Amino acid sequence: MFNSIFQDSELALNTFLMATLSAVAAGFIISLIYLITNKKEGYSQSYVWTIIMLPPIVAIVIATIGNNVASSLSLAGAFTLVRFRSAPGDPKQIAYVFYATATGLICGLGYIGYAFIFLAIIAAIITILHKTKFGAPATSSMTLKISIPENLNYVGLFDNVLSKYSTDWRLKRVKTTEFGTLFELIYSIEMNNSANQKAFID
């Protein structure tokens, strides 16, 4: 199970299919992990498809190259340099590209057992980081706009509420709206992520 399935110098059809199908299965598993851990942030269908397709594509190319490990690693590195022009990627998306590429590389070399051990270890790390919210900031930067009558003294008017629900705030700008009948106060605030935003607005 942990030896390479490519024992002969010639590429057999059955071992080629085994490596490819294993990479496809790995791609689906990685995509499911991505979907589960990115429900809140959102995701694009095209990126999910990319994660599914990367492992078998890498595995097929690596398998056809053969036992030249140096060439295989160079080609795998080239795959990771692909830029997605449809939407700029964040570091987590780039990490998933490396994850999928590395899994496909291991499958392409014929080490199916090691490929799924690697997949499981990284999946466990991702799950732990997601469940514990490791590295998540305690506050979020927001812009708050408040409209008040032009005859109302706004100096210090909202200080108590802002102190209760945020860690820091600054009045950035005051401008008139509705033909001078209203003032619009624009605050830059650091909102506590644990704060009840509805109660804050009310």
Domain count, the chain: 2
Write the CB contacts of 120 (distance below 8 Å, at least 6 apart in sequence).
Answer: none
Same domain, yes or no: 103 and 30: yes
Report residue 65 as tokens. 């190259």
- Give the domain range for residue 80: 13-132
- For residues 87 and 123, state if they share a domain: yes
> pLDDT 10s digit of each residue in the chain, 202 long?
566 666 666 667 888 899 999 999 999 999 999 999 888 778 888 889 999 999 999 888 888 876 566 665 666 566 555 544 444 557 888 899 889 999 998 998 889 999 999 999 999 999 999 888 787 665 667 788 888 888 888 787 788 887 777 777 788 888 888 777 888 888 888 777 666 666 666 5
Pick from 140, 104, 135: nearest CA to 27: 104
Asked if the structure places residue 1 within a domain, the reply is no
The reported pLDDT for the residue numbered 199 is 63
Q: What pLDDT sits at residue 87?
A: 47
pLDDT for position 64: 81
Angstrom distance (rounded) from CA 25 to CA 180: 63
Same domain, yes or no: 34 and 116: yes
Q: How many CB atoms lie within 10 A of CB 158?
A: 16
Domain final residue, candidates 117, 132, 147: 132
Q: Within 10 Å of residue 160's Cβ, how many Cβ atoms?
A: 9
* Same structural domain, 18 and 99: yes
Handedness of CA 73, 78, 81, 82 (dihedral sign): negative
Does residue 20 lie within any of the structural domains? Answer: yes
